[in-house]
Structure 1
């Protein structure tokens, strides 16, 4: 039986909380102003370096 939406959300929140504790100083190397810009930059950076994408 598939996991319910509520359980998935709770599990995702728990994982995110743990990741934030582990990586308190994490920062995105890609410059972006919107989610769409970040998506495009992520796709481009897979083919190049972050510096070339920015």
Structure 2
């Protein structure tokens, strides 16, 4: 099931590319200033099991 979710996430990332993408471990931070699509400004876990250093 996780493989299916990852494929959908990857398709979404490609469909709405962000202006800046930063990675922190297995988390991705997507930023696009001034764009109405909220998905372009988001923090997404690439591995739902990665809870290291969550504050």
TM range (shorter): 0.3 to 0.5
What's the TM-score once normalised by structure 2's chain length?
0.33
Q: Quick check: which one's helix share is greater?
A: 1
What's the TM-score once normalised by structure 1's chain length?
0.34
Choose 1 or 2 for highest CA Rg: 1
Q: Quick check: which one's strand share is greater?
A: 2
